[in-house]
Amino acid sequence: MATTYSNDVLTMLQKTETVAAATTLTAADSGKVYILDAAAGATITLPALADGLRFRFVVGAAFATTNWVIASAEGDNINGIIADMGSTVAGVPAAGEDQINFVNSAETIGDYVDLICDYGNSQWLVSGMCTANGGITATDPS
């Protein structure tokens, strides 16, 4: 039997957009890689859950004053893991969190997270990697 390969990931990785200020994404923004590129972080709000949505966020420049925050529109629905290369801990677990934070004092250019909508289970699945201990955190501030 022949194996069929999908180029969805390759297609996703070909679309990039630089973000330098607070942004609210829509479903039409799905499939892009967002390069975080500003001296001060801001909040990027994900769209409401919908089947097939996916986003990647990558640190493109060091930021010094505030975190970049990726926030769920619904809250309490980000689940997954972020590999933390600067720690003896296996990773940062995300369970029912509201947001992902690229931390201003610990970020490294190239740190990233992927968020994929699992619409059937009403959640965002996160995976990612950071170089420094605490470079990316998952929190529920409410």
pLDDT in tens, 39-82: 899 999 999 999 999 999 999 999 988 999 999 999 999 999 99
Can you name the residues that pair with 43 across neighbouring β-strands?
69
Q: What percent of the chain has pLDDT over 90?
A: 70
Predicted structure pTM score? 0.86
**Which tens digit of pLDDT belongs to each residue from 119-138?**
999 999 999 999 998 899 99
Number of Cβ within 10 Å of residue 82's Cβ equals 22
User: Using 50, 70 and 90 to split pLDDT, how confident is the model at 4?
Assistant: very low
What tens digit of pLDDT does each residue of 76-95 get? 999 999 988 866 444 567 88
Residues 99, 58 contacting (CB under 8 angstroms): no
The C-alpha atoms of residue 20 and residue 66 are separated, in whole angstroms, by 12
| Residue 6 to residue 23: CA distance in whole angstroms | 30
pLDDT attached to residue 2? 54
